[in-house]
Amino acid sequence: MIMILLTVIHVIVCLFLILVVLLQQGKSADWSGTFGGGSSQTAFGQRGAATVLSKATTAAAVIFMVTSLALTIVSTSTGSRSVVPATAPAPTPAPAAETPKPAEVPTVPPENKEATPAAPTTPTTPGKEAAPAPSGEKTKQK
C-alpha cells in the first residue's frame, strides 16, 4: 500500500517539476542578454530575486529526491515483487547413457576386377622371388 502511494506522489511531483521548469524564463533571455549585455563576471550569471516559479522548482526537486529515496528503501526492505519477472533456471540435460557409434560404411565389392589396384607386395630378401600379387591377373615371371 505504501509503495503505491509513494509511486503516485512521485509521478505527480515529476510531472509538476517538468511543467515548472518549462514555464521558467531562462537567464538573460531578453534582448540585452542576446548580445551579452546582461551577464556579469560571476560563474552562473546575475542572481535575480527568487520568483514563485524558482521556489516551486526547488520544492519540487526536494520532494522528488525524497520520494526517490523512499521508493528505493521501501522496495528493497519489504521484499516486494520485482518488475522483472523471475525466471526458472534452465534445466540441465541428462547425460547420455551411451555415446552412439559412428555409422559404418558398407564395403561394396568392385564390379570390375581389372580396375582394382594390385595389393602391395612384401619386400623380398635377395635370392628369393617375390610372392605374386593377390589380384586376379597372372604375373609374368622371367
pLDDT digit of tens for each residue in the chain (142 aa)? 888 999 999 999 999 999 999 988 776 666 665 666 555 555 565 566 678 888 999 999 999 999 999 999 988 876 556 666 667 777 777 776 676 667 776 676 666 655 556 666 666 566 666 566 566 555 555 5
Domain membership flag for residue 37: no
Quote the pLDDT of residue 9.
Answer: 95
Q: What is the pTM of this model?
A: 0.45
Where residue 79 falls (left for φ over 0; alpha for ψ -120 to 50; beta otherwise) is left
Q: Which residues span the domain enclosing 7?
A: 1-25+52-77
17 and 66 in contact (C-beta within 8 Å)?
Answer: no
Give the torsion sign (CA, 43, 48, 54, 59). Answer: positive
Q: How far apart are CA 141 and CA 138, in angstroms?
A: 9
Domain membership flag for residue 133: no
Q: How far apart are CA 61 and CA 64, in angstroms?
A: 5
Domain membership flag for residue 13: yes
Quote the pLDDT of residue 54.
Answer: 87
* The Cα angle at residue 61 between residues 58 and 63, in degrees rounded to 5: 110
Domain membership flag for residue 15: yes
The set of residues, in sequence order, having a beta carbon less than 8 Å from that of 118 and lying 6+ positions away, is 133, 134, 135, 137
Domain membership flag for residue 68: yes
Which residue, chain included where needed, has cell 522496495? 75
Domain membership flag for residue 65: yes
Domain membership flag for residue 1: yes
Quote the pLDDT of residue 100.
Answer: 65
